[in-house]
Every structure is written in structure tokens, then in C-alpha cells.
Amino acid sequence: MKTWRFRKAAAFLTALPLYVFTIAFVAGPLVLMVAISFLSRGESWGYVLEPTLRNYKGIFEPAYTAAFAQSIKLALVSTVASVLVGYPFGYFMARLSPEWRSRCMVLLIIPFWTSSLMRLYGWMTIFRANGVLDSALMAIGVIKEPLKLLYSFPAVAVGMVYTLVPFMIYSVFSSAEKLDWSLVEAARDLGASPAQAFLTVILPLTMPGLYSGIVLTFIPSMGLYFIADLLGGSKIALVGNIIQEQMMRVHNMPLAAAFSVVLMGLTSLCLLAYRKLAKTGELEGLIQ
Amino acid sequence: MKKIMVAAILAALVLMPGCAKKEEAKPALSLYTWEAMFPQEVLDAFTEETGYPITYSNFDFDETMLAKLEASNGGDYDLVIADDYIIEEAVNLGLVSQLDKSKLSNYGNINPVYQKPFYDPEDLYTVPYGAGVQTILYNPDKVLLDINGYKDLWDSTLRDDIGVIANYRVVNGLALKVLGESYNTDDLDVIQQAGDRLVELAPNIRLIKDDNLQDDILSGEVAAIVGYTSMVTMALIENPNLKVVFPEEGIGFGIMAAFIPSKAPNSEAAYAFLDYIMDPERGAECFEYLGYYSTYKASDPFISDEYKSFLTLPEGFATNMEMIQNISAEANEKHEQIWTLFKNAAGQ
């Protein structure tokens, strides 16, 4: 009896710092953010304690709904492209011999040793007028004038896909790795064509990985606003840009908070959809 | 033997800083401003001559500076250099201390053009450090028309060929100027009209950014930019064929200024530094590095010929200039909305 109580107390005490940390630095700021989103802005900075729904109404200004539409469009494009690149990659990586698999893994991780900002500057060098790509295309005579590649929607989408595709690959890979290949062989033995075997056996069994890959690319791509700034020449205004601008330039903290709450709502919806579809709360690939 | 060597090297390393310290170090000067505001040689020479080491902290946006200064209630920093409009707010919030001009022997070097500005109408709080205008810069090899003012930017031959700075008051302001209005209008309808004009400008906009916009006109990414003086200076040093236009509709003008926060822990060092950079020759060195107009009349003669035309105001220039000032919260919100719509339209 005594040891049991002691153990319970010890467990509680061990976990206490974690509780305190989570309440102070995760739950606290969240509650504060939600609360601020219902308050009025202060004269020059901050907020005053006057409850209002004005901020949520403000989100429906055409300027801001356009930004939400733009964010979702970019997220959809990047996610679809990531699936097209990442799914086959992850799938075939799982079919490699264990030795090559780990080599592949290392190669995928190496770019992460460099800051993502640096790598984006690399893309800027490639896309720049008279840059690497322009010069190459002009040298082989495909084009005569430099193309206007940088500072465009496709450039931003390429940057997004480049940054996020590893998450898709890992997710699909960890699903495909667990796949029982004898099931595929059985399907083939029973007369399924390769395409049929893929659609009826492989795809359904790797679906959890695909779903989690989609979640892991769709959600961040709505918030990675520095990619839109650098490769899009700040012309692609995402929700992230608006939150930053409302905070830092307009000093409208309550409106920025309302945007964050709505963005979080959208994110939660995505996660909820994932739970329903994949029938699990855990993200494949990140949490094994 | 090896062990003794290692020990000797370690001992030397440990003892070296101790030997170098001849006298007790003075408390550091805490300087808070944007990155790259002073040449490193000037900062090093200041420490050498006065004994004050410098802690240089930087911010990206004026607003960040104001938030930090508010959080520390005017403490933590000894000297801040920021933009005009934010200083007005800082003064109103009581975060700025009055200058004791008797401690500034070089105070008389300031060019009177930059004195008694809106943010400090009696010259009680600030010392200007660099000023700039927003100008159009274009590459005559690529632009088919003669650009004289902001209205020419709407020309259809400039499609997808213009870069602008990312300051919404400046860019929205250029549409206000085309409408013949003030940068600082609080009239929401007028701001909306400017927004409508900007949406028409959007197809010509290729790029919106604050850092190093000159690189994009030099590399040929864009044919024209609306930029700050420092960008124009750097671009012209690289390519003297580019053309500068002071827009006929009116010129937006800004001053950067230094102030000592109300509870600066080491204001003596701040005075020493201010007086140090206001020295004529050293001022000239700083402005050449900074690429903004020299705000010290005494420094003008020391600016080298290569830079002279960029860093000193042309004669009779002060007409038709307007400074961007603080406006009402509603007007500011409206500005943000038309700016976001403009960016969206440019991104289509």
C-alpha cells in the first residue's frame, strides 16, 4: 500500500516539470491567443479588454479571403506534386536491399544539414534571370531570351515541394516497408495484373502512410510563408504573411490572433479528417 | 614532452586575456539598430579611442524595436537608431530622454534641412543619422519610355518588369501621389481609390522586397524599381547607366535618427558615440558605407567624388517633398487591406 502510494507520488513528481512546461508554454499561450482574438485592439499596440467579434468579421474582408484561397491553392498544388514525386520514391525505396535503403536514407537526410533558407537561395540562383537554368537552356538553344522563372507561383510551388517532399517519402516508406509482400505475390499468382495488384493490395495497405504524408505536407505548406516571400517575390500572400504583417506592421494583435485561431481550426480539421480516414491518431513515419 | 607542450599552450590560452587587460574595462555601449549601419572600422576605432566596448543588437522592423523598448520600459539600450515615424511614437510613450547638447561638441555639424522634423519639432530628443528618398530607378536599355513620375509605371510596356520595396505606406503612397493626395491622408475613401489604382498596377509588378532590390535590377530580373536611396546608390556604383527619377508627383522622404532611451543604463557612452560619429570625416565615412544622404553639413566636403552626387541633396530639392507620418488606426487598417489585395493581384 505504502509503496504504491510512494510510486504514484514519485511518478507524479517526475512528470511534474513536463506538466508545468506544457501548461505554461503550450496551453497558456493558446488560451491567451484565443482570448485576445475576441478583444479590441489597443491605440498603438497590444489590446484592450473590450470584447468584440469584429476580428472574426474582419477575416471576411475580400483581401483576406483571397489570401486564404491562395494559401489553400498553394497547399493543394504542393501536396499533389509531393504525392506524385514522393509516393513512388518512398515505395521503391522500401523495395531496395537493406544496405541501399540506409544509403538512400542518409542521402535524403544530408540536405537537412544545411539550413532550409540556404537551400532556397540555391533555388533562387537556379531560377534567376540569366541564372543556371536560363544559361543552360540558352546554351542548348531551347530559348533565346531569359525566362521569367523566379518570383512566380510555379517557383513557390517548386520550393514548397522541395522542402516538404522528404516528409512524404518517409511516411510512404515506413508504410511500404511494413507491407507483407507475400500478399502481393498471392494476388499476382491468382491472376491480378501488376496494376490490379497495386490498386487492390499495395495502395490500400500503404494508405496510412500516404495520408500522413499528405497531412505532413498540406499543413506546413499553408504556413511556410518565407518560401512564398523569397521565391514568389512577396507577391503570393499567404495566411502566414498576413499574421506576421498584422502583428509587426499594423500592430493589430487581436486580428492576427483571430487569423491564427482560424488557421489552427483548419489544421485541426485536416488532422480530424486524417484520423477518420486512416483510423489512427498517429502519424505514420514520424511516430513509429 | 607532449603533455608539457599541451599544458604550456593551455596555460598561455588561459592567461592571455588576463595579460591583455591593462585597466578596468568601461561598461559597454548597448547600440540597437538595423544590421550594417556602421562600418566595422568605425566601431572598432570608437572602442579603441574611448574604451567603451560596443554591444550591437539589431532589429528588422521598427515595430520590433518599439515593442522591446516598451517591454524594458526605456531601459536595456543606450542608443537606438530607427525611422522617423516610430520615434514619434516612442517619444509619445515617454521612452526617449532629452538630449544634453552640452555633451555633444559636434552638434552644430547637423544639416539644418534635417532639423525640427515632425517627430521632434524642437530638436529635443534626436540626432539624425542618414536620410533618404524613394525614387524610381530604371534601365534605359530595357524601358521603352521616358519615366518621369509614378504615373508612368502603369504603362503597359512595363508588364511584369517592376520591383518595389515591401513598405506598404510607400507603395500605397505612390498611388496616393498619382491621385494628387497626401501620403498621410486619413480619408478611407481616398485610400480605397488608391487601392483600386494599385490593382491596375499589379500586372506590371514582378517583385516586392525590402532587401537588396538593387541586385534584381542589376541582374536584369526587373527593368525598373521603386527603391530607397541606399539601393539606388549601390545600383549606380555598379551600373552608372541606370537612370534615377525623382517622381514629379512628389517625393517621399524619410530620416533615420538616433535617440537615447529614457532609462539608458550607460548614457555617457551613448553621448560619446554620437559625438564620435558626428565628427565631419568620420560622418562622411559612415554615410559612404550606409549609402544614405549625409545629414551632417560638415561631412559633405569629405565625401569622395564617386559618392558625392548620390549622398548629398541636390540644390532646390526641398520642394514637393513629404514625410510619411503616423495615421489613424482605421486608415492604417485600410492601408493593410489594399496592400494585401495589391499583392494578391500581383501574384495572379
Task: Give the pLDDT confidence of B171-190 residue by residue, as tens digits.
Answer: 999 999 999 999 999 999 99
Hey, is A180 helix, strand or coil? coil
Q: In chain B, whose CA is at the least distance from the CA of A153?
A: B347
Give me the pLDDT at residue A131, please. 85
Q: What is the pTM of this model?
A: 0.81
Q: In chain A, whose CA is at the least distance from the CA of B66?
A: A45
Distance CA B223, CA B221 (A): 7
Domain extent listing, chain B: 24-131+254-311, 132-253+321-346
Domain that holds residue A110: 62-278
Q: If pLDDT is split at 50, 70 and 90, which confidence band does A2 have?
A: low
In a domain, A202, yes or no: yes
Percent of chain B as helix, strand, coil, to the nearest 5? 45, 15, 35
* Residue A36 CB partners (closer than 8 Å, separation 6+): A47, A253, A254, A257
Give me the pLDDT at residue A288, please. 41
Q: Number of A:B CB contacts under 8 A? A: 81
CB of A226 less than 8 A from some CB of B: no
Hey, is A277 helix, strand or coil? helix
The enclosing domain of A146 has a CATH number of 1.10.3720.10
Give me the pLDDT at residue B282, please. 95
Q: In chain A, whose CA is at the least distance from the CA of B336?
A: A250
Residue closest to B53 by CA, chosen among B21, B75, B89, B18: B21
Q: Would residue A287 be called left, alpha or beta, if left means φ above 0 and alpha means ψ between -120 and 50 degrees?
A: beta
Shortest CB distance from A235 goes to which of B221, B329, B347? B347
CATH tag for B24-131+254-311 (out of 3.40.190.10, 3.40.640.10, 3.30.430.20, 3.30.70.270): 3.40.190.10
Shortest CB distance from A41 goes to which of B329, B338, B346? B329
Would you call A63 and B207 a contact, using CB atoms and an 8 Å cutoff? no
Residue in this structure with the C-alpha cell 520615434, named with its chain if needed: B87
CB of A251 less than 8 A from some CB of B: yes
- Inter-axis angle of helices B84-92 and B62-71, to 10 degrees? 20
Q: Which CA distances in Å does B236 have to B229, B241, B309, B314?
A: 10, 7, 11, 16
CB of A233 less than 8 A from some CB of B: yes
pLDDT tops 50 at residue B141: yes
Q: Chain A: give the shortest CA distance to residue B147, in Å.
A: 23
* Chain A neighbors of B206, CB-CB under 8 A: 148, 151, 233
pLDDT tops 60 at residue A233: yes
Q: Chain B: give the shortest CA distance to residue A219, in Å.
A: 21
Q: In chain A, whose CA is at the least distance from the CA of B88?
A: A44
Q: How many domains does chain A contain in total?
A: 1
Instruction: Evaluate the CA torsion angle B171, B177, B183, B188 in order and state its sign.
Output: negative
Would you call A61 and B89 a contact, using CB atoms and an 8 Å cutoff? no
Domains B24-131+254-311 and B132-253+321-346 share a fold: yes
Span B91-124, pLDDT tens digits:
999 999 999 999 999 999 999 989 999 999 999 9
In a domain, A264, yes or no: yes
pLDDT tops 90 at residue A285: no
Give me the pLDDT at residue B9, please. 55
Average pLDDT over residues A213-232: 88
Distance CA A219, CA A201 (A): 28
In a domain, A199, yes or no: yes
CB of B166 less than 8 A from some CB of A: yes
Name the grid cell of B276: 564620435
CB of B64 less than 8 A from some CB of A: yes
Q: Which CA distances in Å does B35 have to A76, B40, B235, B308?
A: 37, 11, 19, 24
Span A73-129, pLDDT tens digits:
999 999 999 999 999 999 999 999 999 999 999 999 998 898 888 999 999 999 988
Q: If pLDDT is split at 50, 70 and 90, which confidence band does B333 have?
A: confident
* Chain B neighbors of A64, CB-CB under 8 A: 337, 340
* Mean confidence (pLDDT) of chain B: 89
For residue A223, the tally of other CB atoms under 10 A from its CB is 17
Give me the pLDDT at residue A5, please. 79
CB of B131 within 8 A of CB of B255? yes
Give me the pLDDT at residue A83, please. 96
Q: If pLDDT is split at 50, 70 and 90, which confidence band does B142 have?
A: very high
Distance CA A252, CA A140 (A): 52
* Chain A neighbors of B63, CB-CB under 8 A: 248-249, 251
Residue in this structure with the C-alpha cell 480605397, named with its chain if needed: B192
Give me the pLDDT at residue B22, please. 47
Span A132-175, pLDDT tens digits:
888 888 889 888 877 888 998 999 999 999 999 999 999 999 99
Give me the pLDDT at residue B19, please. 45
Kindly report the CATH class assigned to B132-253+321-346. alpha beta
C-alpha B197: how far from chain center? 27
Distance CA A133, CA B271 (A): 53
pLDDT tops 90 at residue A274: no
Span B264-295, pLDDT tens digits:
999 999 999 999 999 999 999 999 999 999 99
Name the grid cell of B261: 532611451
In a domain, A192, yes or no: yes
CB of B66 less than 8 A from some CB of A: yes
pLDDT over 90 percentage in chain A:
44
Residue in this structure with the C-alpha cell 490490379, named with its chain if needed: A196
Q: In chain A, whose CA is at the least distance from the CA of B195?
A: A63
* Residue A223 CB partners (closer than 8 Å, separation 6+): A238, A239, A240, A263
For residue B79, the tally of other CB atoms under 10 A from its CB is 24
Say which range, A117-121, A219-223, B318-322, has the weakest mean pLDDT.
Answer: B318-322
Test the B interface: residue of A250, A252, A253, A255 with most B CBs within 10 Å: A250
Average pLDDT over residues A19-27: 92
pLDDT tops 80 at residue B314: no
Distance CA A143, CA A126 (A): 16
C-alpha B237: how far from chain center? 19
Shortest CB distance from B220 goes to which of A130, A245, A251? A130
Give me the pLDDT at residue B5, please. 54
Residue in this structure with the C-alpha cell 527593368, named with its chain if needed: B223
Q: If pLDDT is split at 50, 70 and 90, which confidence band does B4 have?
A: low
Give me the pLDDT at residue A208, please. 87
Give me the pLDDT at residue A234, please. 86
Would you call B333 and A250 a contact, using CB atoms and an 8 Å cutoff? yes
